[in-house]
Amino acid sequence: MAGEGCQSLRARLRQDTQDSHKILDAQITQLCQEGAAGYRRFIVTQWQLFSALSQVSGAKTQPVSMELAARALADLRVMKINADERPLPFAPHPLAVDYLVAGSRLGNQILRRMWRDAGVTSQSTADAYLSAPDYLEHWRGFLAAAETMPPEPEVVLNIVENAIQLFNFCADLLNAQSTEEGLECRIITPQDLSPSTT
Ligand code: HEM
């Protein structure tokens, strides 16, 4: 039955990505403890993540990813940071992307509070990313799409695997920022501020 298959996709996604989500939580909690430097790294990774995800055609959340990437980029410009793009190393199923993008907004208010409690955002004008809406209609859209999709086990497996890979991609971005300070971020030059650049 379609309902059972979809229910199992939703349940599998939550269950099978739980550990990966915990890793991200821990990484971002650690960054919060590093204050302004941690915040700079966090915004770099969010720009890298959402600009990579915004390239996936077929994802209904593509406009959300584009908006989040643009907001993170605006913050990078305020902080005078230029970061390298990180393309996705694989082509994910669009529903896996929608899960990650729409789902990530569920924790948005907590994230905002974490950075405020870390004493960073009250002193920074680079807050375009954290001020973004929650886009909860996209989460509802994802849940509806998951309910109507054909319940073929191999499709479900593929989406779940891709979602885990996407969490890992995000964790790798955060790790790179934590361990390679100065390599990923560099101070921008006046040429980098040209409006035609990404
Ligand atoms: C870029 C990093 C993050 C990504 C990609 C991400 C992704 C997701 C996804 C896909 C969901 C949906 C889970 C489901 O119901 O199946 C979710 C839910 C949630 N996330 Fe995150 N998340 C991130 C960071 C965080 C952080 C740092 C926190 C807070 C410490 C957080 C808190 C939450 C909360 C409270 C929920 C909703 C409640 C729940 O189902 O557990 N997230 N996130």
Residue 39 pLDDT exceeds 70: yes
Q: What pLDDT score was predicted for residue 115?
A: 95
Res. 179 pLDDT band, cuts 50 70 90:
low
Supply the CATH number for residue 29's domain: 1.20.910.10
Q: Would you say residue 108 lies in a domain? A: yes
Res. 41 pLDDT band, cuts 50 70 90:
very high
Q: Which atom of ligand 1 is nearest to the CA of 170?
A: 1
Specify the higher pLDDT residue, 88 or 183. 88
Q: Would you say residue 149 lies in a domain? A: yes
Q: How far is the CA of 47 from the centre of ligand 1 (A)?
A: 17
Q: pLDDT tens digits for 110-135? A: 999 999 999 988 777 899 999 999 99
Q: Which atom of ligand 1 is nearest to the CA of 102?
A: 10
Q: Would you say residue 157 lies in a domain? A: yes
Q: Would you say residue 133 lies in a domain? A: yes
Q: What pLDDT score was predicted for residue 186?
A: 43
Q: Would you say residue 183 lies in a domain? A: yes
Q: Would you say residue 198 lies in a domain? A: no
Share of the chain above pLDDT 90, in %: 74
Residue 79 pLDDT exceeds 80: yes
Q: Quote the domain boundaries for residue 185.
A: 2-193
Q: Would you say residue 182 lies in a domain? A: yes
**Beta bridge partner(s), residue 187:** 81
Domain count, the chain: 1
Average pLDDT, the chain: 87
CA distance 116 to 39: 11
Q: Would you say residue 159 lies in a domain? A: yes
